[in-house]
Structure formats: C-alpha cells, structure tokens
Chain A
C-alpha cells in the first residue's frame, strides 16, 4: 500500500489506526528524511550499483563488437541481436529452456505437494525428515554436479547397481545420449530443488487454521476430500509464488548444466540453456559485446514471462500484498 503524501493522510485519516500524533504533526520532518536516507541509502546504493547498473550497461555494450578491453568503439547496431536470433545454437538453448520450465513445474509441483502432505501429518521423526529432505537444496550445485556426473557416467554407480540387480538392460549412457540427457537433467533438478518447494508448501500449510480440517472431519469428509477442498485451495497463493520462482530459476539455469556437461558438450548432449550459451559464446569466446547482447535477450525473455505471470497468475495475490 503506497500512501502518497505521508502525514497528511495520517493527520486527516485517524480512522486507520494512525500513529501517535504527538510525534509530528505535519509533513515528513527533516530529521525523519535524514533517517530514511541514512538507513536505506547504503542498501539502495549497493543495489543500484551492482544490480541495476550492470543490467543497464549490458544494453549499451550489446550494441558493440567488443573484446572487453577499453571503451567499446566498434558500434554494430543490432547486428549482435540479429546474429543471436538467427543462431541455431541459441534456438536450441531456448527450446531446452522452455522444456525445462514446463517440466520443472509439471514434475516438481505434484511431487512436492505429495511430499508436503505426507510430511504435514504428525509422525515420529518429523523434524529430522524435514531436515533431510532439504539437504539436497543446501548442497552446492558444484557438489551435486560432481556427484551426479560420477554416478551417472557410463561406468558409474547407477549403471553398476542396475546391472547387479539384474536390470542391466536399463543401463544407459545417461549424460551423453541426447535422447536421455534432458530427462537426466530434469531428474537431477527435481532431486536438488524439490526440497525447497516442499518447505515452502509446508510453511504455507502451517498457516491454514487447523479448525477448518477439524470442521471438515466432523462433517464426515475423508482425508483426501479435506486436502482437495480445503488444503489445496488455501495453499494456492503459496503454489503460485513457488511457480514463479521455479519459472525464473529454470529460465536462468546455468550452474548444474555447465558443471555436468561443460560448455561444449552441453549443446551436443541437448542440455544447453540460454545462460550456458551466453557464457560460452560471450566470455569464453572473448566476445563481450555479444555476451552482453545475449544477457539482454535473456533478461527480456525472463522479464516478459515474469510480467505475463504477474499479470495472469499472481494478480489475485497482489491485491492484499504490499
């Protein structure tokens, strides 16, 4: 809620639990302005300096062919963007991103919901289970990537286990086979990030008053009816927020792909993303102008999808939020 001219509203609108009038009667005083500036200034400066400025600078650098040294001089207009939009490698990366966005929602959402319902029951050892399910989320991407690269390589432990239990037919080249690699990636992503969704959902479920399901139980509703009619609808805002974070994360996916598949293999194995494309074609190739242009495209795609999501999915939630 953005109340416009501060205290004027306050002075007239004593209806809404207004702050004590004894402090200040009119306008925001200088002392208060100074406090606001001193308290929020450092955070704003850092944020503008290291978050906003780079994004703005990317738009500028993106118009140059530039190797990253000195002031960019070789202005090429929209050439970089034309190249990006015509590059088959970028199309593939974009397509992979699109699949990862959809599959992340479709796989992690239901799994996390099921797990949260399971863990929302009272049972012994509940708190330790909650810790354990969050463990993959807390482990660094580098470690997860290293571990899965070893586990899933052709002679790795996963194929070893499959062979030793007589399922050798299922053994596969999980990482290099282009038909499989995206699914392998999705499995790893689910393993890594489902705990975050579970924790969010559990937190949301704790905000649902217990009286509601008790009342439903008195009315003879079964466990599943209660979950379907009460828990799920009341959890919807949490699910929508998670969906938003998941989509943004999937669009910007970099670490795990880059660590497991490396910059060159990713495109042939069919797991490259816009971000790995940006790093390999930009920084690793020394073409900083081009890399910045890719960053702008990545930013625009994310922004576009974020706005669509805000407009059509989160709109209902924003009305009573900030």
Chain B
C-alpha cells in the first residue's frame, strides 16, 4: 500500500499546492488584512502588511461587544449541541434497536427533515417564536436549532448504533441488564465517536448560523457572532482593516473545533454514506 508508484509525482503536488492556494487565499486575505492599516489597504488592496499593525486585533479583543457576542454564540452552540446529541442518540437508539410498528414511518419523518433546511420554515417559525415570547432570547434560537439538527444527527447515528453487535446486547440481557441499562452502560460508551461527529457538526452549524438569528435576534445585546460581524461591517464600513480583524477572530473557534476533530467527522460521514 505504502509503495504506491505515484507517490512522488511532482505534477500531482503542483496541482495540490495550487489548489490549497485557491482554497486558503480568501481566508489568508482576511487574517493578514487585519494586520494592515486602511491606507495600506486602499493604496494596494492585495499587498502584505508593511509595517504590521496589531492595533486592529487588540482593539477588537478589548471590546466588550465582541466578547458578549462570543459568549452568546458559545451558549447557543453549546446548548444546541448538547440538546441535539442527547435527543438524537435517544431517538436513534429506538430506531436502531427496537422493532415496533411505525418504526419505518418514524425514520422517514426525520429523514424527510433532511430535505428541508430552515429556510422553508423561517417565516412561520419566527411567528411561533414570537408567540412563545422568545424573540431576542437565546432559547428562541436554540430550540429550533435542536429541532432542525435532529435529522442529520439521526441519519448518522442510526447506522452507528445498529452496527453494535447483537451478541453484546444478548450478553447484557443474560447478565440481567435491562434495555435501558444496556443503552446507558454499553451503547453510549460505544457510540462516543458518532456522538462526537454529530456534536461537532451541530456546534459548527450553530456557530455559523445566520438566517435564524437574523429573524429572532433584533436586539444588539442578544446578537451572536455572525450577526455581530454583519453589524460591525456596516457600522465600520470605512474601517476595512478592523472589519477584517473582527471577522478573522470570529472564525477561529469553528476552525479549531474542526481541525481537532476532522478525522471523526470524515469517519462519521463514511459510516453514514455506507449505511
């Protein structure tokens, strides 16, 4: 396997390098641009910082607005993740390991949810949230996010849980372990990789989500980072450098989370595609 004859092909490496440049160029532009001054950006929009300015970043890091938005985003993403994973694994366990009338219909119900991202439901959803009195509150964002995160989670977890060998369940039953005990003591520990995959996906989705907060959160104090970035962009539209600094700081958490767990995500998707 390791002795693939094509491993050293320079053309392949050149193609890959060009590709990486294309993929990362805009990202680097944001990060590096934050180290420039506005006059540097105006005179040469594509140049490098000369000299490097750290003021934009330190200004953003010193602002309470930025940290409040980080806090809001963290709470929203954290609670959403916990909710999606908890509810998702419980429902997936039922779908994967119980036999009952209507199981296929239940699975189809959640699978159908995959077809309809939040866009379709956003207008009536806003009215529902308004009637519940949750406008401008984080729960108003978190509850719908949990609901809309369930389809992906269940689709990924069901094959995962189904793959746990019957023999383990039988052995547990012989040891007088109830189905719920089996779920708690065997299924949950065994499905940690799947839980991490779905958890990361839910976290990143929530961290990046725009449309739902745009409808639900109108009050500056309740803004999450994506709304904050947009508000900041229009507020400081002449201060491009600061906008770039704000933007690059706000994408760090999702990037860190993703790079830490990239293998898990790819592994989880492999399972889902196979299932």
Give the nearest-CB partner of A138 in chain B: B258
> Which chain B residues numbered 195 to 250 have a C-beta less than 8 Å away from chain A?
204, 207-208, 210-211, 215, 225-227, 229-230, 233, 240, 243-244, 247, 250
**A52-60, A73-81, A173-181, A264-272: which lies at the interface:** A52-60
Give the nearest-CB partner of B111 in chain A: A322
CB pair A151 B26 closer than 8 Å: yes
B127 within 8 A of partner (CB): yes
Which residues from B are CB-within-8-Å of A206? 270
CB pair B123 A47 closer than 8 Å: no
Q: Select which of B46, B91, B154, B180 is within 8 A of A160 by beta carbon.
A: B46
Give the nearest-CB partner of B268 in chain A: A203
Interface size on A, residues (CB 8 A): 109
CB pair B204 A147 closer than 8 Å: no
CB pair B210 A141 closer than 8 Å: yes
> Which chain A residues numbered 217 to 275 have a C-beta less than 8 Å away from chain B?
223, 237-238, 241, 248-249, 252, 254-255, 259, 275
Tell me the bound Cα distance from A203 to B243 in angstroms: 37
**B4-12, B49-57, B59-67: which lies at the interface:** B4-12
Q: Select which of B127, B204, B275 is within 8 A of A57 by beta carbon.
A: B127
Interface size on B, residues (CB 8 A): 105
Give the nearest-CB partner of A194 in chain B: B23
Main SS class of interface, B: helix
CB pair B19 A55 closer than 8 Å: no
Which residues from B are CB-within-8-Å of A39? 90-91, 93-94, 183
Tell me the minimal C-beta distance from B175 to chain A in angstroms. Answer: 12
Complex interface bits, B165-207 against A, C-beta within 8 A gives 1, otherwise 0? 0100110010000011001000000000000000000001001
Give the nearest-CB partner of A244 in chain B: B115
- Given A36-B98, A134-B258, A142-B226, verify A155-B123 contact (CB < 8 Å): no
Tell me the minimal C-beta distance from A291 to chain B in angstroms. Answer: 4
A200 within 8 A of partner (CB): yes
A-B contact count (CB 8 A): 291
Complex interface bits, A67-88 against B, C-beta within 8 A gives 1, otherwise 0? 0100000000000000000000
A43 within 8 A of partner (CB): yes
Tell me the minimal C-beta distance from A27 to chain B in angstroms. Answer: 10
> Which chain A residues numbered 153 to 168 have a C-beta less than 8 Å away from chain B?
155-161, 164
- By a beta-carbon cutoff of 8 Å, the part of chain A in contact with chain B is 1-7, 9-10, 17, 19-20, 22-23, 28, 32-33, 35-36, 39-40, 42-44, 46-47, 49-51, 53-55, 57-58, 61, 68, 115, 118-119, 121-124, 127, 129-136, 138-144, 146-148, 150-151, 155-161, 164, 191, 195, 199-200, 202-204, 206-207, 210, 223, 237-238, 241, 248-249, 252, 254-255, 259, 275, 278-279, 282-283, 288, 291-292, 294-295, 298-299, 302-303, 306, 321-322
- By a beta-carbon cutoff of 8 Å, the part of chain B in contact with chain A is 1-2, 4, 6-7, 12-13, 15-16, 19-20, 22-24, 26-27, 29-30, 33, 42, 44-46, 83, 87-88, 90-91, 93-95, 98-101, 103-111, 113, 115-117, 119-128, 130, 143-144, 146-148, 150, 154, 158, 166, 169-170, 173, 179-180, 183, 204, 207-208, 210-211, 215, 225-227, 229-230, 233, 240, 243-244, 247, 250-251, 254-255, 258-259, 262-263, 265-266, 269-270, 273-275
- Other than the given A49-B147, A123-B7, A321-B275, 7 more pairs (CB < 8 A) read A32-B179, A50-B147, A156-B45, A159-B45, A203-B266, A292-B124, A299-B120
Q: List 22 A-B contacts (CB under 8 A).
A: A6-B99, A7-B99, A23-B173, A32-B98, A42-B91, A43-B154, A47-B150, A50-B125, A55-B121, A68-B130, A123-B7, A131-B262, A139-B27, A140-B207, A141-B208, A146-B229, A146-B243, A158-B46, A200-B269, A237-B273, A278-B123, A295-B124
